[in-house]
Amino acid sequence: MIKTKKVRAPVRIDFGGGTTDIHPFTHTHGGAVLNCGINRYVVGKIIKTSENVHLEYTGNTPTSSGLGTSGVMNLVWLALISQIKMRKKGGVSFKNKMQLAETVYSLEQAMGLIGGKQDQYAAAFGGINFIEFKGDKVKVKPLKLGKKFIKEFEDKLVLVYTGKPHFSGNTNGSMIENLKKGKNTKNLLRIKHIAIEMKDALLKHDLGRFAELMNEETKEREKLHKSIVPSKTKKLIKQGMRNGAVAAKVCGSGGGGCILFLGDKRKIRKYFGKHVIDFKFDFQGLTWV
């Protein structure tokens, strides 16, 4: 007899605060990230037969996009093999999502992977979240923004794939080495505070201020390491700003992958064409399908 189960989880867009979720910064200063889940998913399937167990993944995001895909895959894998209990309506409980996200992060650290915690929590919870990291403690705070403003916000965001694969371990490793040498602390503290200010701007429905903070986040992030905003990315950002965008931010740890633009969606989409990754916010997070 063949038994099949499927689970899915969203990738994320990080608006601000990325890299402050990485040890040792979380333990020395505490981190803060503002991110959202989007309706681009990793879907995992486990197929059990009398003889073996087969696991497979599918997804609809480009390779090395800077959207936290590897963390999502690991979360989906753990949910499948642990057969995490679900609620009657198909969702996974808050407690179980927290446990899964933390376990995935611990496993990644044990494997020697260099990265932070935000991807796992964004995938587990979905929605627009302000996440705080202090030592080993994590607080996930969903933002209650109202349907009308969420639609307005969503209608001003455009995600563009640069065509250049991004490898977070490379850029994260360089940044951690700089941090150990006492470099970049000031920049990271500002990046952390930008995430806090972004959260406040959204709660006030102030997209003008949010746009300013997006641009500042990219400028501060560029100071962390020269590989974060390569020449091709800079060129694409300039082109976007000339074609309807008022703000731009590199996704993830940069170095390639995706750029998030905010502005006139129609103009930005028209200019970048096939390089646009269409999305809407996901508010389910990890769920059985």
Rounded to two decimals, what is the model's pTM? 0.92
Q: What is the CATH number of the domain that holds 72?
A: 3.30.230.120
Closest CA to 45 of 30, 29, 59: 59
* Number of structural domains in the chain: 1
Q: Give per-residue pLDDT as tens, 37-94.
A: 999 999 999 888 878 888 898 998 887 889 999 999 999 999 998 865 554 455 678 8
If you count them, how many residues does the chain have? 289
Give the C-alpha separation, 142 to 86, whole Å.
Answer: 20
Assign 57 to helix, strand or coil. Answer: strand
Paired sense of beta strands 258-263 and 276-277, if any: unpaired
Least confident range of 49-58, 115-124, 190-199, 280-289: 49-58
Assign 32 to helix, strand or coil. Answer: strand
Boundaries of domain holding 232: 1-289
**pLDDT number for residue 87:** 46
